[in-house]
Amino acid sequence: MKYSILSAGIFVALTSTTSAFASDFPQKFEHKFGNSVVDKKPIRVVSLSFNGPDNILALGVKPVAIRSWIIKDNYGVGPWGIELLGDAKPYVIEGELNIEKIAELQPDVILGMYSGINKEQYALLSEIAPTIAAEEQYTDYGTPWHIRSQTIARALGQSEKMEKLLNGVKNKITQIVDKHPDWKGKTATIGYNWGETPGVYQAKDSRATLVNQLGFVTPDAIAEAGDPDSFHVALSTEDISLLEADITIWMVGSDEDSLAKLDDLKLRKTLKVYKEGREILAPDNITRAMSYSTVLSIPYMIDELVPMIEDAIDGDPKTIVQIK
């Protein structure tokens, strides 16, 4: 049995309206460090999550602080969200958290479901403002993208607006699934090559989740080889066979150094997926959109990635999808 996140259940979860998603205050949030209560609709919002402020901006809120990650310009906001940022100039958090600086910003709420904060940091942050960490049932970076969206919306008193946005994403995904019934059940792997270490993302990771929602499945062998508390599996350069699939999408970016290191991965050229041209070398915009996995970045990712999948999956070596 292969792992697929595409099911009726997830689409129900995308659009269900329950008391948990109400926009009335106070709102209580349970997470790995206990629970937090947001007493009233927040105005000043700090976003500690590495996957950016997209879900906040989508609701018409401009955060006073944003965590820097793979997008280093435009305050860490991707092309799919820059217009919503407008002329706002949020404080950009680089590297380790500066608790004193966060306190100076006088936030009404601190959002950190995808931040990896530890117990000690949570204790300090929660003295400043209600702080929402990752849920107990997920890893620090494993909260499903739609759950993150709904939780943020509930914290900001905007559940109804987020429901409409999620419906739009659902409809876009459904259109692709309906257009490509032949993708259903085909295997897909999402690979990386950080420095000298190749690896593959588990099905629980948002990047794999998104591709699975298009009909693909993650091979069971990846979960079997991985740590249940992790979202990826590091591989040896001497054995990258876990990457074998009907399509493989490399989170490689566009810089020459990353491309050269991937090209130096000798066993990659022994994979059938490589020989048959069923690889996609995802450029920066797709890598970032998939890594963020938000209601703003997912529609952008679909528009950019789906044509590349269509070209790659035919198995014709002449149509290998390279960065242009």
Q: What is 9-66 written as a DSSP string?
A: HHHHHHH---GGG---SSEEEEETTEEEEE-S--SSEEE--TT-SHHHHTTT---SEE
Stated length of the chain:
324
Q: State the residue for tokens 């990258």.
A: 240
Question: With a threshold of 0.75, does the pTM exceed it?
Answer: yes
* Strands of the sheet with 197-201, listed across from one edge: 232-234, 197-201, 188-194, 247-251, 279-282
Which residues fall within 8 angstroms of residue 143, CB to CB, at 6 or more apart? 113, 114, 134, 135, 151
User: Block means of pLDDT (10 residues each) for the chain, length 324 residues?
Assistant: 42 47 84 96 96 93 88 77 93 92 98 95 98 91 91 97 97 97 97 89 93 97 91 94 97 80 92 94 91 94 95 74 50
Q: Give the pLDDT score at 68.
A: 81
Q: Give the pLDDT score at 141.
A: 86
The amino acid sitting at 324 is K
Q: Give the pLDDT score at 70.
A: 63
CA 18 to CA 242: how far, in whole Å?
40
The amino acid sitting at 254 is S
Domains, the chain: 24-157 (3.40.50.1980), 179-319 (3.40.50.1980)
Q: Give the pLDDT score at 150.
A: 96
Cα 117 to the center of its chain, rounded Å: 17
Q: State the residue for tokens 């790659």.
A: 312
Tokens at residue 302, please? Answer: 């679909």
Q: What's phi and psi for 5, nearest 5 deg?
A: -90, -10
- C-alpha angle with apex 259: 253 to 261, nearest 5 degrees? 120
Q: Give the pLDDT score at 195.
A: 73
